[in-house]
């Protein structure tokens, strides 16, 4: 099963495209650069429908992040490729509180459905996040599937010399981004519309 679901919630507002003609200003020379391999974005989606017991909750995650944290300007920009997401790694499932492990065949089926049918990763390969700090929050613009949405995200920030660590979590809906929910058996087995996103960013000067 893939990231998607049948939702009975009211439809979201019309999608907003990310303006191609308005690039973000460059980072200052004091900006911290995000360290790929030491940073993480993980997304948990949960099963739903009358036949939910036949499916699995899923976690997709990546450490291949690019971008910067600019404390002087109070802003952050990061991005990652959808085709670099790892599906249902045992460590990430444990961290998400999931106590089962899908079979390799089930994981491959999830990956195939997610990238080809749901996220259409070939047409929309990148996820981009642009955020401005507002006290203990980030005002984040998230672009996924060619659609941009705004979120206010609680932030934990620690600075230790040249090293900066930022972490937080928030909830979004797939349908916020115009993604068609995926379901089988007429919606009897599906994945819920909500996505639980968490991040732990390491950045160095």
Among residues 190, 155, 197, 157, which one has the least CA distance to residue 173?
197
Q: Which two tokens stand for residue 78?
A: 């990061």
Number of H helices, E strands in the chain: 2, 13
Q: Which two tokens stand for residue 50?
A: 């009358």
Q: Count CB-CB contacts under 10 A for residue 71.
A: 17
Task: Please give the chain's pLDDT, 205 residues, in tens.
Answer: 334 333 333 333 433 343 333 345 567 778 999 999 999 999 998 876 655 566 678 899 999 999 999 999 999 999 999 989 999 999 999 999 998 899 999 899 888 888 888 888 888 999 999 999 999 999 999 999 999 999 999 999 999 989 999 999 999 999 999 887 655 655 565 678 899 999 999 999 9
Question: Angle at CA 180, nearest 5°, toward 176 and 185?
Answer: 130
Run of H or E including 32: strand 32-34
Q: How far apart are CA 26 and CA 166, in angstroms?
A: 20
Q: Which two tokens stand for residue 49?
A: 């429908």
Instruction: Give yes or no for a contact between 123 and 155, defined as CB atoms under 8 angstroms apart.
Output: no
DSSP H helices in 57-196: 90-95, 104-112
Answer left, alpha or beta for residue 152, where phi above 0 means left and psi between -120 and 50 means alpha.
Answer: beta
Domains of the chain: 32-204 (2.40.128.110)
Q: Is the pTM of this model over 0.85?
A: no
């Amino acid at each position: 099963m893939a990231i998607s679901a049948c939702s009975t919630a009211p439809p979201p507002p019309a999608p907003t495209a990310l303006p191609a003609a308005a690039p973000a200003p460059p980072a200052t020379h004091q900006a911290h650069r995000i360290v790929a391999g030491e940073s993480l974005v993980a997304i948990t989606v949960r099963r739903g429908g009358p036949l939910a017991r036949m499916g699995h909750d899923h976690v997709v995650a990546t450490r291949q992040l690019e971008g910067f944290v600019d404390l002087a300007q109070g802003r952050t920009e990061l991005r990652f490729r959808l085709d670099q997401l790892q599906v249902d790694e045992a460590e990430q499932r444990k961290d998400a509180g999931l106590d089962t492990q899908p079979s390799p065949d089930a994981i491959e089926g999830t990956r195939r459905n997610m990238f080809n049918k749901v996220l259409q990763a070939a047409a929309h390969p990148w996820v981009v996040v642009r955020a401005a700090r507002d006290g203990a929050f980030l005002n984040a613009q998230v672009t996924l599937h060619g659609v941009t949405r705004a979120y206010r995200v609680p932030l934990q920030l620690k600075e230790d010399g040249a090293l900066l660590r930022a972490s937080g979590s928030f909830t979004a809906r797939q349908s916020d981004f115009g993604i068609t929910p995926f379901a089988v058996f007429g919606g009897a087995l599906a994945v819920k519309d909500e996505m639980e996103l968490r991040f732990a960013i390491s950045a160095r000067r």
